[in-house]
Homo-oligomer: A and B are copies of this chain.
Amino acid sequence: MKIFSLLYGVKQTGWSLRRCIATTPSSAFNFPKSGNELARSGGIASMMRLPIASSSKGLDACFVGVPLDNGTSNRPGTRFGPRQIRNESPIIRKFNAATHADPFESLMVADIGDVWVNPYNLPDSCQKIKEQFSEIIKDGCIPISAGGDHTITYPILQAIAKKYGPVGLVHVDAHSDFNDTMLGEKIAHGTPFHRCYEEGLLECSKVYQIGLRGSAYSVNDFQKQKELGFNLIPAEECWYKSMTPLMEKIRAVMGNTPVYLSFDIDGLDPAYAPGTGTPEIGGLTSIQGLEVVRGCKGLNLVGADLVEVSPTYDTTGTTALTGANLMFEMLCVLPGVKYHQ
């Protein structure tokens, strides 16, 4: 594996030795740039200002973007989600003060940039995403992906399931995304989990959809998922409650099954995440979002994504900031991450 060290400008001599000494790798690991080494406004915006790698070779986990929004039904803009999440990420520090996870001392991590997508042809994009994720994960690297709209989870799970078999799913979302078609099309951001189900990519009884809400087309909208054994947790069941007990239950059910975590930012209430395309009121708080992700500690996670951040509707940057934090928390719950006391 070849990891390029993303240097911010010229070689630093003399004065920089004193200040930047902490950046000298204390181990074989990559580290994000700290705001105490390099001003937060500085440096090319990779995720958390990590080194950029040309491939996933040698990496335990990677951040990767899927800059696509042509599956969106309402407001577009998620094509710029990966870029904006990276822009807001330099504020995040390497240690998780709440959970005491120390991911960068545990895993080799890099930002591997974005996969190639075809914005004018959604099926072709899906095909290419599948191929590229197959390559990313082939040696065991766990991808934490930034969308892009939710369409992308379909080809990602095609790649994942080919390697790991059908997976359990922790799915935070306002919407079930289990339509058969949208406007007659099979591929769109409201259909990925129907496609995944059809192709046998999911262990249906180990699918948890959390935060569902909003209006529907008919009383039958959720009928089929229920019959398949999907576990639907409407937002109403989450109101006023910690998500921690739910996550305990989910961990018990999942056991050692390979699990994929798909977090649609619209699972959160638009007060917390306004910058998204199909917002629904009455959603989760970002506290509940943190509880869900932190509650995945102990699962056999094989991949995760954070989708549907639409920067043009995120006028304060809070949505992208939330996305960046949730992706960091995802990293913290991957298998192999050490926790301090």
The reply to whether A10 and B55 contact each other, CB–CB distance below 8 Å, is yes
The reply to whether A215 and B94 contact each other, CB–CB distance below 8 Å, is yes
Q: Which residues of B contact A79 (CB under 8 A)?
A: 39, 41, 76
The reply to whether B120 and A71 contact each other, CB–CB distance below 8 Å, is yes
A112 within 8 A of B: yes
Q: Which residues of B contact A313 (CB under 8 A)?
A: 312, 316-317
Number of copies: 6
The reply to whether A18 and B184 contact each other, CB–CB distance below 8 Å, is yes
Binds B, one of A160-168, A195-203, A251-259, A276-284: A276-284
Nearest CB to that of A219 among chain B residues? B340
Cα separation A255 to B68 with both chains bound (whole Å): 45
The reply to whether B97 and A221 contact each other, CB–CB distance below 8 Å, is yes
Cα separation A240 to B62 with both chains bound (whole Å): 34
A211 within 8 A of B: no
A227 within 8 A of B: no
A115 within 8 A of B: yes
A295 within 8 A of B: no
Cα separation A94 to B94 with both chains bound (whole Å): 38
Asked whether A119 and B183 contact (CB < 8 A) given A222-B97, A234-B98, the answer is yes
A291 → B minimal CB distance (Å): 9
The reply to whether B44 and A52 contact each other, CB–CB distance below 8 Å, is yes
Smallest CB-CB A-B distances: 5 pairs: A274-B316, A41-B79, A97-B216, A76-B76, A93-B215
